[in-house]
Structure 1
Amino acid sequence: MADQLAHEINAFLTHMANHRRIAPNTVAAYQNDLNQFHGYVQSMPNGASTSDQPGGPDLRALDAGTLAGFVLHLREKHYAEATVARKVAAVKSFFNYAAEAGLVADNPAAALDSPRVQRIMPHAVSPNHVHALLEVGCAGRMPDALRNRAMLTLLYHSGMRVSEMVALDAGDIDLQKRVVRCRGRVGRVRQIPLTEPARAALEIYLASGRAALARADEDDIDALFLNHRGTRLTRQGFWLIMKECARHAGIAAPITPHTLRHSFALHQLGRGTTLTDLKELLGHVNLSTTQVYALADRGAPAPA
């Protein structure tokens, strides 16, 4: 992209990252969605050019009809409504920024309606599946098995996001005080209590597993969870590990890292944790985000 629209999209993404302190994953999602919007505009018959900007899409040439056409284009591609809603939200945020910055005289997204998306209630995995995942899927005393057990136990017993877990350094774990320092979104840091199962699994991994995975010549020596190359494990790497552990455990039901976060939240409420306390444990900014768990079906029994 090397035109006026592309330039302003890049400026918007920089603004989101540096001034709004939006999480990197969110910025990356905005970038993908706005790049798709840019590609759609380029594919229009005149490429949304103006007489003084013939080289590519011009922000000033875009109107409400352009945006409505983009939404129709997404639906013709058979995107799910939730995906369409996310892409529309990205476009609306971009044009709100452009209007505030005086880049457009009128905001063409002002009247753009976001698709209504039915809220999907979170669900918990059964305690039997959790037990199988930890005891069967992560069985063994090899360094990678100890790491996998520590990661999955910590994820289930803390409710942290997988991006937060893989970002942990060894120094963030305090086994004596039984807490983990978690760096959340937008630079927010919270202390999460370590349950005894999580503390025990981490203690074994730190004593017998991590040193075998670490390599002194790697920059990620501080990372808590290491891959076979001795570098920090990525979200994608953890996702593959979790799928393999679930396969070994014979779990056919869909189970994802976020499923364990949902399970933690629902089981905490089942034990009597207040929404306010759960909000802090999960690292939510707004209580309204946490309230969805109070509306969810808590039919699955909470483990003791």
Structure 2
Amino acid sequence: MMAAEAGSARNTLLAYRSDLEKADADIAAGIGAADSDALKALAQHWSGLSSATVARRSAALRRFYAFLFEEGLREDDPSAALPKPRLQRRLPRILAPDEVERMLARAEERAGSGKPLALRNLALIELLYGSGMRASELCSLPRLALSRRNQPFLILRGKGDKERLVPISDRARDAVDRWIEHCPEGKWLFPGGKAHLSRVRLFQLVREMAADAGIAPDRVSPHVLRHAFATHLLSGGADLRALQALLGHADIATTQIYTHVDSDRLVELVNSRHPLARGN
């Protein structure tokens, strides 16, 4: 159902399978036959887990029991008895614009040597920060994704198998053009091993580039650069709905987290634009 009807991505399917298997191991009768008492007892089994992990496993089980009930495989849905931890949504880690600029400048300096791997790294970081792509989307870009000259955007099939338009900056386009001259022949724009560059390797490369620019590596990851893309766009006046489309968020509530990150700009906006602001 999740693959065929919901169109869930492979990583989502693997995560749900893992959570269901772990829950099944904690219930003597198995998750298929579990009753409300068995689900209540999971709170004790999961007492040592983080609130986020408990919430994720409970969400997987709720979807599982809803499916069984809707398909007539169970006469009841016992998921109301599942643990319900309170979650406080954490603000995303971000980098200041000058820190990102330092990383880009250092990557550009390295690329000046003309070494293929340095050119590849520059293309990676320019695309990450210049488009807000997810790590998995970037790693799996086809070699011909930017084959057309002056192509200002990509059409990506991202999370949930949904298509979205991703604009490509002139800087990123230039970096890709320089890299493609040295890119090994094959299917992928960023090849690695027997397929494309892995997300783990991309994570390592981004941290290496951060350290090279004098930034603490533990503060930086591909996802942090995606957050920086979003936050810096919002600071520049981007519309929240436009940002939702650029990031590929199904729910605008996910995008709204950036309004908390950029609270200083929002306060300044009220003080300068509101009709009752002092001086107006």
| TM-score band w.r.t. shorter chain | 0.7 to 0.9
RMSD: 2.0
Q: 1:224 — aligned with what?
A: 189
**What SS class does the counterpart of residue 164 from structure 2 fall into?**
strand
Question: What is the CA distance between 1:269 and its match in structure 2?
Answer: 0.9
- Verify the 8 A CA contact 1:150 1:205 in the aligned structure 2: yes
Percent of aligned positions with the same letter in both sequences?
35
**What SS class does the counterpart of residue 109 from structure 1 fall into?**
helix
Match status 1:241 vs 2:211: no
* Partner amino acid, structure 2, of 1:120: R
Q: 1:64 — aligned with what?
A: 36
- Verify the 8 A CA contact 1:265 1:278 in the aligned structure 2: yes
**What SS class does the counterpart of residue 58 from structure 2 fall into?**
helix
Question: Structure 2: how far apart are the matches of 1:58 and 1:143?
Answer: 51
Q: 1:104 — aligned with what?
A: 74
Q: Deviations over 1:240-292 (max 9, x none)?
A: 22222223223215111111111111111111110111111111122222122
Q: 2:254 — aligned with what?
A: 289
1:180 pairs, out of 146, 151, 154, with: 154
Structure 1 pair 34–226 and aligned structure 2 pair: CA distance change class (3 A): same
How does the TM-score come out when normalised to structure 1?
0.79
Q: 1:133 — aligned with what?
A: 103
Question: What is the CA distance between 1:58 and its match in structure 2?
Answer: 7.0
* Partner amino acid, structure 1, of 2:20: L
Q: 1:144 — aligned with what?
A: 117
Question: Structure 1: how far apart are the matches of 2:118 and 2:45?
Answer: 46
**Bigger mean CA offset, 242-251 vs 23-32:** 242-251
Match status 1:21 vs 2:13: no
Match status 1:34 vs 2:20: yes
- Verify the 8 A CA contact 1:178 1:195 in the aligned structure 2: yes
* Partner amino acid, structure 1, of 2:12: T
Map 1:165-176 onto structure 2 (within 5 A): 165-173=138-146, 174-176=148-150
Structure 1 pair 69–111 and aligned structure 2 pair: CA distance change class (3 A): closer
Unaligned ranges ≥5, structure 1: 1-14, 42-46, 49-56, 215-220
Question: Structure 2: how far apart are the matches of 1:250 and 1:40?
Answer: 46
- Verify the 8 A CA contact 2:42 2:83 in the aligned structure 1: no
Q: 2:214 — aligned with what?
A: 250
Q: 1:154 — aligned with what?
A: 127
Q: Deviations over 1:52-98 (max 9, x none)?
A: xxxxx3723x11121122232111xx221111111111111111111
**Bigger mean CA offset, 127-136 vs 31-40:** 127-136
Structure 1 pair 297–271 and aligned structure 2 pair: CA distance change class (3 A): closer
Q: Deviations over 1:5-42 (max 9, x none)?
A: xxxxxxxxxx211222112111111111111011112x
Question: What is the CA distance between 1:188 and its match in structure 2?
Answer: 1.9
**What SS class does the counterpart of residue 119 from structure 1 fall into?**
coil
Question: Structure 2: how far apart are the matches of 1:37 and 1:236?
Answer: 27
Question: Structure 2: how far apart are the matches of 1:285 and 1:249?
Answer: 34
Q: Deviations over 1:125-167 (max 9, x none)?
A: 0223212323335724321111111011101010111111112
Question: Structure 1: how far apart are the matches of 2:179 and 2:234?
Answer: 29
Q: 1:266 — aligned with what?
A: 231
Q: 1:164 — aligned with what?
A: 137
Unaligned ranges ≥5, structure 2: 266-280
Q: Deviations over 1:155-186 (max 9, x none)?
A: 10101111111121122214413222222122
How does the TM-score come out when normalised to structure 2?
0.85
1:278 pairs, out of 206, 228, 243, with: 243
Question: Structure 2: how far apart are the matches of 1:115 and 1:279?
Answer: 27
Structure 1 pair 58–156 and aligned structure 2 pair: CA distance change class (3 A): closer
- Verify the 8 A CA contact 1:266 1:298 in the aligned structure 2: no
Question: What is the CA distance between 1:112 and its match in structure 2?
Answer: 2.9
